[in-house]
């Protein structure tokens, strides 16, 4: 099954908390090597959708398949170790240095120290952080942009097939953001990862996405390529497009 083209798929997934429906009838699939962008307004259910994939939360109805098997049928810890995840904000461990943070997934996997050290340096280089300068720093000694890079490096270090990113470049100024988007596009291309990427920024969605899923009030209202999105007659899609046309 793992050879199949589809890495993630949602089948009629609904999710509710305390009787309140947060997701309703979600059907999605993510093919190997593609970057699916979840786009939508604040509160529409993007983060919730993402967390269903690595089973930080469990579906109320329907099922989520990863590599062909239901997430509910495998051990959650095993599942998560094969998936890189970057939180919406923060998520770095404040009591660990940059190097310790990035190396942690490998430490959990029981890799030896020397291998971890080399791999951490490699990852820091990849996300544009000079290991000499940054390896020994604590998160609070880094800028917001540097912390985001570190989060990406940590998600990549164990070489997972699947990467989940929740607005990784959220709280950044426009220039830094643009630079990071470019670098991230390059990294994903080089490494050939499968990515689910959450954003509410259309520009980012168009730049990074091989396909875009537009969400509204807990439903997926559009699913297609950026080109198809640009041509969509949907009012919500038009509203987004107008923000960039300005």
Partner 1 sequence: MSFLDFITANWRELIMLTREHIAIVMLSTAFAVVLGLPLGVLLTRVRALQAPVLGFANVMQTVPSLALFGLLIPIPFIGGIGARTAVIALALYALLPVIRNTVTGILGIDPKIREAADAMGMTGAERLRLVELPLAAPVILTGIRVAVVISVGVATVAAAVGAGGLGTYIFRGLRQNDNNLLIAGAVASALLALLFDLALGQIERSFTIGERTKRTSRRIIGLGIAGALAAVAVVGGLLVSQANLGRAGELPASGERIVVGSKDFTESIILAEILTQLLEGEGFAVERQFELGGNLPHDSLLAGKIDVYPEYTGTAFTAILKRDPITDPEVVYRETAGSYEREFGLVLSPPLGFANDFAILIRGDVARLQRLRTISDTVPVSRDWQAGFGQDFMSRADGYPGFVRAYGFAFARQPREMDLSLTYRALAAGELDIIAGNSTDGLISALDLFQLQDDRRYFPPYEAVFVARRDKAELLRPAFERLRNAISTEEMRKMNLEVDGNKRQPREVAAEWLREN
Can you give the binding site for Mg ion, defined by CB under 5 A? 47
CA-closest candidate to residue 168, choices 80, 49, 51, 86: 86
**Can you tell me which of 43, 68, 90, 118 binds ligand ATP, judged by CB under 6 A?**
43
Q: At what angle do helices 98-108 and 144-156 cross, to 10 degrees?
A: 20
- State which residue, 119 or 200, has the beta carbon closest to Mg ion: 200
User: Distance between CA 84 and CA 86 in Å, rounded?
Assistant: 7
Task: Give the binding range for partner 1 (CB under 8 A) out of 8-16, 92-100, 185-193, 206-214.
Answer: 92-100
Q: Could you tell me how many residues of this chain bind ligand ATP (CB under 6 A)?
A: 12
**Contact string 121-160 vs ligand ATP (x = CB under 6 A):** ----------------------------------------
| Residue 185 binds to ligand ATP (criterion: CB under 6 A) | no
For residue 59, give both structure tokens.
């579906």
| Residue 164 binds to ligand ATP (criterion: CB under 6 A) | no
User: Distance between CA 179 and CA 76 in Å, rounded?
Assistant: 35
Can you say how many angstroms the Cα of residue 192 is from the centroid of all Cα atoms in its chain?
14
| Residue 105 binds to ligand ATP (criterion: CB under 6 A) | no
For residue 30, give both structure tokens.
């993510």
CA-closest candidate to residue 71, choices 80, 219, 24: 80
For residue 57, give both structure tokens.
């939360």
| Residue 133 binds to partner 1 (criterion: CB under 8 A) | no
- State which residue, 3 or 95, has the beta carbon closest to partner 1: 95
| Residue 199 binds to ligand ATP (criterion: CB under 6 A) | no
| Residue 45 binds to ligand ATP (criterion: CB under 6 A) | yes
Task: Give the binding range for partner 1 (CB under 8 A) out of 59-67, 104-112, 182-190, 229-237.
Answer: 104-112
| Residue 110 binds to partner 1 (criterion: CB under 8 A) | no
User: Distance between CA 127 and CA 8 in Å, rounded?
Assistant: 26
**Can you tell me which of 3, 19, 42, 192 binds ligand ATP, judged by CB under 6 A?**
42
User: Distance between CA 153 and CA 101 in Å, rounded?
Assistant: 9
Residue with tokens 């947060």: 22
């Amino acid at each position: 099954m793992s050879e199949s083209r589809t890495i993630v798929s949602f089948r009629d997934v609904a999710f509710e908390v305390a009787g309140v429906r947060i997701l309703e009838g979600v059907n999605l699939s993510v093919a190997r090597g593609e970057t699916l962008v979840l786009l939508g307004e604040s509160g529409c259910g993007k983060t919730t959708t993402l967390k269903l994939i690595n089973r930080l939360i469990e579906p109320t109805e329907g099922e989520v398949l990863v590599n062909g098997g239901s997430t509910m049928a495998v051990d959650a810890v095993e599942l998560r170790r094969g998936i890189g995840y970057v939180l919406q904000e923060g998520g770095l461990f404040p009591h660990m240095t940059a190097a310790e943070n990035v190396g942690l997934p490998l430490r959990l996997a029981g890799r030896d120290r020397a291998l971890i050290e080399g791999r951490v340096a490699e990852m820091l280089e990849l996300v544009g952080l000079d290991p000499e300068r940054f390896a020994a720093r604590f998160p609070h000694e880094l800028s917001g942009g540097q912390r985001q890079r570190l989060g990406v490096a940590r998600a990549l270090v164990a070489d997972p097939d699947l990467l989940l990113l929740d607005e990784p470049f959220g709280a950044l100024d426009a220039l830094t953001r643009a630079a990071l988007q470019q670098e991230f596009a390059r990294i994903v291309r080089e490494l050939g990862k499968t990515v689910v990427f959450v954003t509410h920024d259309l520009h980012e969605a168009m730049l990074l996405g091989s396909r875009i899923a537009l969400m509204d009030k807990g439903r997926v209202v559009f699913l297609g390529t950026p080109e198809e999105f640009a041509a969509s007659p949907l009012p919500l899609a038009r509203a987004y497009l107008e923000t960039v046309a300005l």
